[in-house]
Chains A and B, each alone.
Chain A
């Protein structure tokens, strides 16, 4: 158990809908990262927040957004969902943003868009 929690575990929704994925980082970790993992693309970095502020952006679509709250939990919002958005979404956390131990991943949310 990495100490990172994600809810829900599974989500099934229809095209055009909007969903929110939630992540609680390990105790003491200030950085939260979101990744998308699909069968043909592997793990793709989406976005990072550090202590409530956006720090880095990867291949995140404009239909997706995220935020980190004062209690350090984070939410990833996916809107106008398309079939191609079906994937595993992982949250990871680390203490800082610089060198040090690796990011610790949560168990993921499996999103299925029908």
Chain B
């Protein structure tokens, strides 16, 4: 069965303290690995799609990387506004079905 596991469940950082979030996946024939940001009570906000091992994408303080078994979301010098839940999802059928992890709750303190 396709599965996505995220760690840690929660992460507390000081402003400026860089760290990484992990997403491990067991999906046969991965077609895409997706990262989303979700604020409380709101819909997930699309961040990145990664398609193949070795691929990297960046957006402001965020960088996503992909290997054959896992993906990392690196947060460089985070700010309090980066506080949110970060969700990882995988698909082996294009966009027809995304399997989501349970997310990492990130809190960045000033």
| A interface residues, Cβ below 8 angstroms from B | 2, 4, 31, 33, 42-45, 48, 55-56, 58, 88, 90, 92, 94, 96-108, 110
Query: Which A residue sits closest to B102, measured CB to CB?
Result: A42
Contact B95 A100 (CB under 8 A): yes
Give the complex CA separation of A96 and B2 in angstroms.
22
Give the complex CA separation of A31 and B98 in angstroms.
13
Contact B49 A102 (CB under 8 A): yes
The one of B32, B45, B97, B100 in contact with A2, judged by C-beta atoms closer than 8 angstroms, is B45
Interface residues on chain B, size class: 20 to 34
Give the complex CA separation of A110 and B49 in angstroms.
27
Contact B95 A96 (CB under 8 A): yes
Contact B43 A108 (CB under 8 A): yes
Contact B44 A90 (CB under 8 A): yes
B36 to chain A, nearest CB (A): 7
Q: Chain B contacts of A55 at CB under 8 A?
A: 96
Contact A107 B100 (CB under 8 A): no
